[in-house]
Structure 1
Amino acid sequence: MTSVLGLLEAKETAAREVIERLREEADRIVAELGEAEERLERLVIARETVAEVLGGPAGARRQAAVNGADAVVAGVMVVPCRREGVSARVLPEDYQRVMAVLDAEASMGGVRARALTVALGREEVPAKIECVRSMAKRLVARGWAAEETPGVFTPAAVSKEPSAAA
């Protein structure tokens, strides 16, 4: 006859094995997701570059003197790193609009890319949402915005702690 403790130990061991297997699968999925997001960002940048070369908006061009030496080129839009005393007015117009929405929605605990896309007046389709998500992530990387919860963006000033991505 099997003891109750023996049965519980067997079920506990089985549960631990399931948890370990699921953790390994989650790690694999997170790694694949990261690679897919990087591919997407490169494609968005490539599309922005091609659009500019083919006659995109002239407002996308920024002078390097305005943005400083630590500006980073994203497509052809130069998105400078945030530093003390620099306002969001140095950002390209589209990024200024993203920051305005983030500032307006800061009290709501942050904005997801889909809601940000709608707030910017863009069509709610995957391509537009991913473009806006890429812009928000670029703002996070440059210190203008924060992403404390994956996929939820806030202005950096509302952030509880500085973004590790900057």
Structure 2
Amino acid sequence: MKEKPKVLYHGSQYLFDILMPRQANGQCEAEAQVGIYAATTMEEVIPFALPFRFYPDCPEGKLSFDSDGIISYLRYGAINPNGKGYVYVLPSDSFELVDEWEWLSRTPVKPIKVIEIAVKDYWHTISFSEEATRIQRELYGDISG
């Protein structure tokens, strides 16, 4: 059993005063529970903080991206190169380990600290499919960052 750290990290495109449990859309049961997911390092949550967007930006829009915990691969959708995201530093008290790297809290959590990140600082961690490259160019021009 992994020893619980004093703090955990959560990435989000949105700024909140208190994180509320939500239904996750994970690949398996451990990743699809109602709660707040967190990891032991800031690097692991950066892909979740990056503001990937549906295309088109409407209810019928589509977004598809994968991440290995550091590098993100955008299959379909876009990301504003001048956008920002948020990494939350959270007390680990209410969290339990649900798989080899993810921790889950089923109760609201007040962050200790919120770190604003800029997409441009993590641009090198994003790769694009041909379709995502086309969408990105259409919306933002050059994709070289």
TM-score with structure 1 length normalisation? 0.22
Larger radius of gyration: 1
For CA contacts below 8 A with separation 6 or more, give which structure has more relative contact order: 2
Looking at secondary structure, tell me which structure has more strand per residue. Answer: 2
More helix by share: 1
